């Protein structure tokens, strides 16, 4: 097993210790697995809390900071965090204005955030929740009932985070988060399987010369397997799936996201093909983000996410942000 780790059992704790050393602007509780922006709670501000299994970095801990999340709860690799983490995070960041839980649609995350919401409300914390379910590849999967939450999570956390930083009330921040999710669609492609530290071998078999269309961020099977395709063909297949599901009426934000092991040289080339296809289909593009943001350990491949935006959402997207994984305007 060729991994830059000590032992599988301490992978998450080791990463959190390293994150704490690299980012003093964050408070990283290694023992309790909670990452909090150091200035929290911010008086009068709605707080955003998210989380999920580790292995998708920089999601979610890398998006904690001004303009995005107030706190994040990392679980074990590809495993939901537990309710105690979520309650501890909510208590650490609540200023009295309420807390929005951003939840990807995976069964463990949904159940644990639901339980955490009840426990937090018992402690007097006002909680709202938004479920992210943007993936058009499959309706149900190994980990979900309904569509999976993938790349749109970044859009929800950034845009709702900007709204919260402007002092919007909880009901409005929640409504904006829901609007972003409802206007977003994603599709992913794997060129190789990922390898979890605990297993030490690929999570699924993908023969040489083949790729998997419509994968999830845990290595879940996609909708079909094909012989290897060119970058342009992959862009066409991905956008065919997205645009079959929705016809954008507004300009879109575009996320061309690497799954963890695909270099920027390839991602920028893939983005060129994505932009070509969108142009041919008459889809107006407002902003583009390219890089590894919602990953799956060492999986090679990419996903595409489109998010329809109006003037308000675009302004919130452009608002300043300062986190380990995303920053501009500050």
d(CA 68, CA 327): 10
Which tokens sit at 154? 């970044």
**Sheet of 224-227, strands arranged across:** 224-227, 210-213, 184-190, 301-308, 252-258, 285-291
Q: How many CA atoms lie within 13 A of 228 on its CB side?
A: 9
Q: Does the active-site annotation cover 218?
A: yes
Q: Does the active-site annotation cover 56?
A: yes
Asked if 213 contacts 189 with a C-beta cutoff of 8 angstroms, the reply is yes
Which tokens sit at 216? 């999830």
Of 23, 56, 60, 244, catalytic: 56
Q: 3-class SS at 231?
A: helix
d(CA 51, CA 108): 11
**Tell me, what DSSP letter sits at residue 135?**
B
Which tokens sit at 244? 């079959």
d(CA 301, CA 185): 17
Q: Where are the beta strands (DSSP E) in the chain?
A: 26-29, 34-37, 47-54, 71-77, 99-104, 127-132, 184-190, 210-213, 224-227, 252-258, 285-291, 301-308, 321-322, 327-328
Q: What angle in degrees, to the nearest 10, is found between the helix axes of 152-165 and 170-182?
A: 160
Asked if 54 contacts 77 with a C-beta cutoff of 8 angstroms, the reply is yes
d(CA 295, CA 307): 19
Active site residues: 56, 218
């Amino acid at each position: 097993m060729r991994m830059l780790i000590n032992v599988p059992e301490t992978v998450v704790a080791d990463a959190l210790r390293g994150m704490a050393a690299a980012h003093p602007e964050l408070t990283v509780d290694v023992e309790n697995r909670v990452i909090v922006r150091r200035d929290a709670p911010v008086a009068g501000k709605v707080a955003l809390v998210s989380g999920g299994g580790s292995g998708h970095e920089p999601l979610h801990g890398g998006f904690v900071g001004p303009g995005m999340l107030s706190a994040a709860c990392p679980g074990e690799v590809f495993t939901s965090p537990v309710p105690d983490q979520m309650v501890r995070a909510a208590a650490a960041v609540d200023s009295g204005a309420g807390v929005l839980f951003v939840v990807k649609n995976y069964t463990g995350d949904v159940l644990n955030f639901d339980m955490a919401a009840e426990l937090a409300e018992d402690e007097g914390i006002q909680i709202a929740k938004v479920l992210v379910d943007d993936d058009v590849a499959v309706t149900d999967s190994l980990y979900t009932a309904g569509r999976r939450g993938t790349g749109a999570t970044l859009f929800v956390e950034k845009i709702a985070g900007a709204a919260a930083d402007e002092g919007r009330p909880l009901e409005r921040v929640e409504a904006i988060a829901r609007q972003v999710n409802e206007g977003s669609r994603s599709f992913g492609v794997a060129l190789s399987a990922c390898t979890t530290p605990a297993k030490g071998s690929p999570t699924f078999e993908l023969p040489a010369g083949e790729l998997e269309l419509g994968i999830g961020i845990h290595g879940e099977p996609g909708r079909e397997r094909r012989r290897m395709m060119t970058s342009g063909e992959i862009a066409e297949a991905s956008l065919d799936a997205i645009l079959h599901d929705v016809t954008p009426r507004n300009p879109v934000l575009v996320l061309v996201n690497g799954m963890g092991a695909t270099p920027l040289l390839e991602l920028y080339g893939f983005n060129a093909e994505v932009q070509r296809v969108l142009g041919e289909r008459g889809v107006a593009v407002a902003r583009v983000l390219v890089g590894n943001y919602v990953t799956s350990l060492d999986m090679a491949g990419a996903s595409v996410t489109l998010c329809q935006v109006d003037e308000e959402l675009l302004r919130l997207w452009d608002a300043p942000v300062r986190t380990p994984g995303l920053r501009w305007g500050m």
